[in-house]
Amino acid sequence: MYSLKIWELIFILIGSFLLLLPNESLSSPFTSNDPSSYTNFLEKRYAEHHEFYEYHEFHDSNEYHEKSYDIKITKGPYAPDGFERDIYLINGQFPGPLIECNKGDVLVINVENCLNEDTTIHSHGMFQRGSPWYDGVPGQTQGGIPPNETFSYKFKVDQSGTYWYHSHSRAQYIEGLLGPLIVHDPQDPYLNEYDEEIIVILHDWYHTDSKTLLATFLSPESEGNEPDPDNGLINGKNSYNCSWAPDGSKCDSNAPLANFKLVHGKTYRFRIINTSAFATFIFSIDDHPLDVIEVEGMMTKRHTVHRLPINIAQRYSVIVKADKPKKKYWMRSEMETACFAAPAKNLNPLIKAIVEYEGCDDKNPSSTAWSDAVENCVDLNAEDLKPYKSQKVPEVDRKIEIMVNFQPNENNVTSGYINNSTYNIDVKYPTLYKVYDDVKTFDADQNAFILEKDCEVIDIILTNKDAGEHPFHLHGHAFWLLGTGVNGTTLDYDKLNTEDPIQRDTTTVPAGGWTVLRFVADNPGVWGFHCHIEWHVQSGLVAQFVELPDKIKELNPPEDWKALKSKVKEY
Ligand SMILES: [Cu+2]
């Protein structure tokens, strides 16, 4: 018995040692450099491995456990939908590789910038508690990573759920600089209710580079009409009608769709992420109901839908049972073109992928779409979603009113305004450096709100005077979504939901409507608050919260972050 125990111990020690080398032993087998295998690699990884839960058993959650990734950013020709153009690639692929860890781990993202411009990586939805300098926002939390330099983001992850990472520099993310970020929780209440996980990334796709599109959009001629996408992608794939492509384009009309293989009898957790520049999607799988269980890191009670609206930067997890006849089915991601300012030309708004049961021999799916009506350009009704665990929502201390509108600026360019002030990014002197330099007041065009009282409970009352809806994202927090109203409704504070609201980090304020968001100012940092429509970010619909500046100064930022300040250039 004694010797057996020794051998067991040695075995466990060797096992633990191997697992402490995540780059070699865990991530590399799943970060394929063959871009076309992206969908398959995700499926395979989730189909074959639950090792993240298993490896967690090797260590106490209070132990320091680091999970690191190397990402190399380049630009090159790529044809996600058969139309070739230059896009941003991460480790040679688009979308970028899966970054994942367990709740409680320290996540390290080593970025190598091989572009001839600067870049940043923002981990969308990560609170960055104690590490505000790693939020990855130029003009607010860091100077960009210069060309041919490396920079490491390193932060403790004390949350779990479905997230994504993307560049926050100019419009880089919409041209490919993005990927999924998943944080597993060994205590996830639904862990035993599904067999495997599948990530689904919904993206709108432009065939023209963002610089050209921005030049047009930010000119008087656009009258504020955003550029419409040329196509949409599911996990970086779709086909395109090449007769719509300009003469001389490299275009193949037979590009393959994404294909998801299911095993009959199994249950799946689909993690759905909308990484778009402009488009809201309605997601569905023919004949398969979707049980929502997670919204942006918050576990919810099961709520069954057939068609799931998902706006930019939002995420949902849904449970899907593979219990239908062994066939092929359409997965649908319907672009809500009704929300576009200008009608789209040469666009097929129905983006499809194939959901295929193992062992079926259909050629193509012949399934029909769900017919449930979904209201255009608004989120899934928050009142339908209930937290899995009840929470106590604190009472409000301070109300901050934020009014959103669009109007021509002094150059007659239609711009986004926050309380009548359009944001001008201060690339050369980002806010967090200012805080460390003891700057206490900020120029009006910085749209800075200073939160000085520790644990003050803040309500953002967001009023939208614009004729379009806006998916607003708050960095550094998840907010309680207390209420949302469409055009024509008035906010009644007594009717807000303070009993069982969901928490999320991105919510849509409807056209002409309002929304009320509550959060506790307990996370020292500079946190962006902006519409996630990339065109609107570029036209000034951005604010920032300078939260607990005195406490920020008690935190010690790393030297390489400080050094970025003097390296900033305009690109
Ligand atoms: Cu917007």
Structure confidence at residue 23 (pLDDT): 34
Residues 176, 207 within the same domain:
no
Residue 316 CB coordination number (10 Å): 27
Q: Assess if residue 222 is contained within a domain.
A: yes
Three-class SS of residue 136?
coil
Mean pLDDT in residue range 439-461: 97
Amino acid symbol at 134:
Y
Burial, 500: exposed, middle or buried (Cβ in 10 Å; 0-12, 13-18, 19+)? middle
244 in a structural domain? yes
Residue 323 forms part of a structural domain: yes
Strands 196-205 and 267-274, how do they pair? parallel
- Residues 136 and 205 both lie in one domain: no
For residues 356, 361, 366, 368, the Cα torsion angle rounded to the nearest 10 degrees is: -40
DSSP, residue by residue, 173-186 = GGGT-EEEEEEE-T
Q: Are residues 409 and 546 in the same domain?
A: yes
- Number of domain units in the chain: 3
Residue 162 lies in a domain: yes
Taking the centre of ligand 1 as the mean of its atom positions, its distance from the CA of residue 238, in whole angstroms, is 26
- In tens, the pLDDT along 186-197 reads 889 998 899 999
Mean pLDDT over residues 295-299, rounded? 98
330, 359, 384 - which closes a domain: 384
Per-residue pLDDT of 306-348, as tens digits, reads 999 999 999 999 999 999 999 999 999 999 999 999 999 999 9
Q: Are 70 and 34 within one domain?
A: yes
Whole domain around residue 172: which residue ranges? 19-74+87-185
For the chain, what is the mean pLDDT? 90
Does residue 518 share a domain with residue 379?
Answer: no
As a whole number of angstroms, the distance between CA 33 and CA 55 comes to 25
Q: Is the pLDDT of residue 16 over 70?
A: no
Gap from CA of 423 to ligand 1 centroid (Å): 13
Mean pLDDT value across residues 259-279: 97
**DSSP characters over 184-216:** E-TT-TTGGG-SEEEEEEEEEE-SS-HHHHHHH
4 belongs to a structural domain: no
Residues 221 and 174 in one domain: no
Q: Mean pLDDT throughout 301-305?
A: 98
Beta bridge partners of 343: none
- Taking residues 70-77, report their average pLDDT: 98
Q: H helices within 353-393, ranges in order?
A: none
Q: Residue 465 C-alpha to ligand 1 middle, in angstroms?
A: 12
Q: Find the 129 Cα to ligand 1 centroid distance in Å.
A: 27
Residue 252 has pLDDT above 60, yes or no: yes
pLDDT at 5: 41
Q: How far is the CA of 541 from the centre of ligand 1 (A)?
A: 7
Predicted local distance difference test score (pLDDT) of residue 22: 34
Residues 69 and 166 in one domain: yes
Name which residue leads in pLDDT, 465 or 53: 465
Q: Would you say residue 515 has pLDDT above 90?
A: yes
pLDDT in tens, 489-505: 999 999 999 999 999 99
Instruction: Say what percent of the chain tops pLDDT 90.
Output: 85
Per-residue confidence at 59, pLDDT binned at 50, 70, 90?
A: very low
Mean pLDDT of 171-178: 98
pLDDT greater than 80 at residue 58: no
Query: What is the whole-number distance in angstroms between the Cα of residue 406 and the centre of ligand 1?
Result: 9
Q: What amino acid is encoded at 142 in this protein?
A: Q
Tell me, yes or no, whether 11 lies in a domain.
no
The terminus-to-terminus CA distance of the chain in angstroms comes to 68
Q: How far apart are CA 364 and CA 361, in angstroms?
A: 9
pLDDT of 43 higher than 70: no
Residue 196 lies in a domain: no
Provide the CATH number for the domain around residue 515: 2.60.40.420
Same domain, yes or no: 327 and 357: yes
Whether residues 372 and 303 fall in one domain: yes
Lowest mean pLDDT among 166-170, 191-195, 268-272, 290-294: 191-195
The amino acid that residue 31 corresponds to is T
Predicted confidence at residue 26, as pLDDT, reads: 31
Identify whether the C-beta of residue 466 lies closer than 8 Å to the C-beta of residue 414.
Answer: no
If asked whether residues 119 and 146 sit together in one domain, one would say yes
Give tens-digit pLDDT for 524-569. Answer: 999 999 999 999 999 999 999 999 999 999 999 999 999 999 999 9
- Is the Cβ–Cβ distance between 239 and 335 less than 8 Å? no
Q: How far does residue 542's CA lie from ligand 1's centre (Å)?
A: 9
Closest CA to 311 of 296, 325, 299, 289: 296
pLDDT at residue 326, as a whole number: 95
Q: pLDDT band for position 92 (50/70/90)?
A: very high
pLDDT of residue 104: 87
**361 confidence band (pLDDT: 50, 70, 90):** confident
pLDDT digits (tens, 9 = 90+) for 225-242: 999 999 999 999 999 999
| pLDDT value for 12 | 40
The pLDDT, as a whole number, for residue 31 is: 36
Contact 520, 503 (CB under 8 A): no
Tokens of 134: 């790693």
Distance 254 CA to ligand 1 centre (A): 34
Q: For the ranges 32-41, 115-124, 387-396, 429-438, which has the lowest average pLDDT?
A: 32-41
530 C-alpha vs ligand 1 centroid, how far in Å? Answer: 8
Residues 125 and 239 in one domain: no
Please report the pLDDT score of residue 37 as a whole number: 39
**pLDDT, position 63:** 56
Q: How confident is the model at residue 64 (pLDDT cuts 50, 70, 90)?
A: low
Mean pLDDT of all residues in 121-148: 98
- How many whole angstroms from 236 Cα to the centroid of ligand 1? 24
Domain stops at, among 349, 384, 419? 384
Distance from the CA of 310 to the center of ligand 1, in angstroms? 15
Mean pLDDT of 29-40: 37
CA of 65 to the centre of ligand 1 (A): 38
Tokens of 476: 């550094």
Q: Of 338, 355, 384, which closes a domain?
A: 384
In this structure, are 429 and 358 located in the same domain? no
For residue 392, being part of any structural domain is answered with no
Q: Is it true that the peptide bond before 365 is cis, omega within 30 degrees of 0?
A: no
- Phi first, then psi: give them for residue 47, nearest 5 degrees: -75, -35
CB 158 within 8 A of CB 62: no
| Ligand 1 midpoint to CA 42 (Å) | 31
Question: How many Å lie between the centroid of ligand 1 and the Cα of residue 469?
Answer: 7
- On whether the CB atoms of residues 397 and 458 are closer than 8 A, the answer is yes
Listed in order, strand segments (DSSP E) in 129-279 are: 150-156, 161-166, 178-184, 196-205, 231-234, 259-262, 267-274
Mean predicted confidence (pLDDT) in 242-259: 97
